[in-house]
Structure 1
Amino acid sequence: MAVEYVRFQSATSDERGQFKGVFGLVNNLARDGRLTAEQNRFRSENNAWYDAAYTDPSTVDSSVYDPAVNAGATAWFKPSASHLIERVAGYLEILAAHGVDCHAVKSTDPGRVIYEDDVQIVVIPHVC
């Protein structure tokens, strides 16, 4: 049976043709000063929780998200990451409140795996 990975990403691509992930979308709103105090508190507390709960791939391999080495690299949750996926709902609520469309994408083959641990993979997406 094939493993189905999930990624939460923007509905539209950016200027480089990439679909920004849920955490990046919320962090961009924070950088732009658009979050309410409550939303920013949620973001800060939950970002810290995620940082403690699982490995940032770039701390293992600094080239993982380097666009010169791994252009378009994206992270996907494994099905075993249900405890991580549960908290995404709060981020999605923040995005919806700001009119930012973000949705779940599922795939059994999202791309060439360049990093993997027990809860996630980072891939270079297949070129269509």
Structure 2
Amino acid sequence: MSIEYVRFQSTMSDERGQFKGVFGLVNNLARNGRLTAEQDRFRSENNAWYDAAYTDPSTVDPSVYDPAVNPGATAWFKPSASHLIERVAGYLEILSAHDVDCHAVKSTDPGHVIYEDDVQVVVLPHTR
């Protein structure tokens, strides 16, 4: 049986042709000063919760998101990460309030796995 991974990402690619993930999208809004105080509080508290709840792959392998080493690397949740996926709704609400489109993408084969733990994989997307 295949595992179906899920990723929450922008519906439009950036200047490098990549689709930014939900956390990056909200963090960009914060960096640009576009969040309300309540939205920024949610982001800060939940980012801290995520940092405590699961491993940041770059702390295990600093090159995992290095664009020179792993161009286009993206993180995907495993189905076992339901406790992590549940909190994404608040991030999606923030994006919606700022008219930033973000959707869930599901795949049984999102790419070549370069990092894996119990709740996520980081992959290099398949070339077309």
With normalisation by structure 2, the TM-score equals 1.00
Counterpart Cα distance in 2 of 1:75 and 1:117: 11
The percent identity for this pair of structures is: 88
State whether structure 2 residue 42 is matched by structure 1 residue 42.
yes
State whether structure 2 residue 18 is matched by structure 1 residue 18.
yes
Task: Report what 2:3 is aligned to.
Answer: 3
Alignment size in residue pairs? 128
Q: Structure 1 regions of 5+ residues with no counterpart?
A: none
> Please, what is the CA RMSD of the aligned residues?
0.3
Task: Report what 1:116 is aligned to.
Answer: 116
Counterpart Cα distance in 2 of 1:98 and 1:63: 32
Task: Report what 2:30 is aligned to.
Answer: 30
Counterpart Cα distance in 2 of 1:70 and 1:37: 35
Task: Report what 1:78 is aligned to.
Answer: 78
Counterpart Cα distance in 2 of 1:34 and 1:68: 30
Shift of 1:127: 1.1
Runs of 4+ in 1 over 3 A off after TM superposition: none
Secondary structure, counterpart of 2:84 in structure 1: helix
| 1:55-94 correspondence to structure 2 within 5 Å | 55-94=55-94
With normalisation by structure 1, the TM-score equals 1.00
Shift of 1:73: 0.1
Counterpart Cα distance in 2 of 1:108 and 1:35: 34
Shift of 1:93: 0.1
Task: Report what 2:51 is aligned to.
Answer: 51
| Paired AA for residue 23 in structure 2 | F
Counterpart Cα distance in 1 of 2:66 and 2:35: 28
| Paired AA for residue 45 in structure 1 | E
| Paired AA for residue 14 in structure 1 | D
